[in-house]
Amino acid sequence: MEDATQNFRDNAPRTSLKIKAADVPDTMTVFAFLARQTPYRAALRAMVEQHKAYRFIEMDLGTSLVDSLRSSVLDAIATFGQASWHRADGNSSTYGGFSLAYNPNHRDSLDPNSSSLGTPQNAGDKFFYNQRDRNRPIKDSYFDTYGFRYRTPASRHSDLGRFLDDLRAPLVRSRVGIIYGDRVDATDQNYLATAGWHRDEPVYENLRVNIPLQTDPNFVFEIEGEAPRHLEVGKAYSWDTHIPHRVYCRGPTKLARIHLVLGVSPWFTYSQSDDSWEPNEFFGKVHPFELLRTGRIHSRLHA
């Protein structure tokens, strides 16, 4: 551990290293290019022992804040609308929501409100974050997490907007996610056994925070190797999203499950003025979960 940490410090950038999105080739995501241009691999090695201590974080938000966020999100849906999850075989009938961040150069030419809800390039059973057609350009695709660097109009709405304004890290691919309980067949044994398993980016790339706003005990979260658990209103959650996990409905309900699914960049800052990224002061020094736990991602999010 000490050798890896010292090695990172010896190779860490000594001066500002700005990397413009325009310089990223079509064959790479913005983050992959950032990782190549910085001592990112050494930074990961310095985190190995710390990472073992983290798997799942639960934080108390309180009912007052969550009530205001739920009201704001419902009003945003009425104002800006909602969309279904995009896929090649037709949009999903059971999952949707609206985007909180968008990419103005999105290759799928999706409107900002739905641009982070999947991709019409993937079949319905292929929604792993890196499960893509290798023959297609990846920059500005759904899989280019840091391409989603602009806030949508809906993300600026009332209390939701004010909550997101207080983030201390750049918002990247994020959404309000809705599972329509009355459209899920919870008696389908194949659905109960297999539905929804996927992996997302490592937390060093995209630190995700999940905030339940409206739910039913029949909606459960499951991470590989652990028993399913219900994510409660009044709390916020984060976990190692690179471990296979899923959300599914284990019983009948007419209630829609509405969650904020926030993604932030823990180790890079973004400048909209010149559309550039650069390592921040925590790069390779503080684990993303430690940033979250201590309120350095958002003052209302801490353990």
Instruction: Identify the burial level of 167 via C-beta atoms within 10 angstroms of its C-beta, where 0-12 means exposed, 13-18 middle and 19 or more buried.
Output: middle
Which pLDDT score, from 0 to 100, does residue 127 have? Answer: 56
Residue 38 has pLDDT above 50, yes or no: yes
pLDDT digits (tens, 9 = 90+) for 200-236: 999 999 999 999 999 999 999 999 999 999 999 999 9
Assign 13 a pLDDT band (cuts: 50, 70, 90): very low
- What whole-number percentage of the chain has pLDDT above 70? 91
Q: Report how far residue 110's alpha carbon sits from residue 120's, in angstroms, rounded to the nearest whole number.
A: 10
Q: Could you report the per-residue pLDDT of 106-115, keeping only the tens digit for each?
A: 999 999 999 9
- Rounded mean pLDDT of 60-83? 97
Q: What is the pLDDT of residue 6?
A: 45
- Model pLDDT, residue 191: 85
pLDDT > 90 fraction of the chain, expressed in percent and rounded: 81
Give CATH for domain 2-293. 2.60.120
**Which pLDDT band holds residue 134 (cuts at 50, 70, 90)?**
low
Evaluate if residue 14 carries a pLDDT over 70. Answer: no
Q: Which residue has the higher pLDDT, 101 or 6?
A: 101
**Residue-level pLDDT at 17:** 86
Least confident of 77-81, 157-161, 197-201, 298-302: 197-201
Q: How far is CA 9 from the centre of its chain?
A: 28
Stretch 62-82: mean pLDDT, rounded?
97
Domain extent listing, the chain: 2-293
Question: Identity (one letter) of the amino acid at 174?
Answer: S
Task: Supply the pLDDT for residue 126.
Answer: 61
Distance CA 8, CA 73 (A): 42
- State the pLDDT at residue 78: 98
In 3D, which of 157, 265, 162 has the Cα closest to residue 207?
A: 265
Give the per-residue pLDDT at 195.
85
Instruction: Work out the pLDDT band at 4, boundaries 50, 70, 90.
Output: very low
Which has the higher per-residue pLDDT, 8 or 299?
299
Report the distance separating Cα 120 and Cα 109, nearest Å.
10
Q: Which residue has the higher pLDDT, 128 or 87?
A: 87
Length of the chain: 303
Give the mean pLDDT of 277-289.
97
Q: Is residue 159 exposed (0-12), middle (13-18) or buried (19+ Cβ within 10 Å)?
A: middle
Residue 194 pLDDT > 70, yes or no? yes
Question: Looking at residues 179-191, what average pLDDT do you find?
Answer: 90
pLDDT surpasses 70 at 252? yes
pLDDT of residue 150: 98
Lowest mean pLDDT across 46-55, 121-130, 207-216, 286-295? 121-130
Residue 9 pLDDT more than 50? no
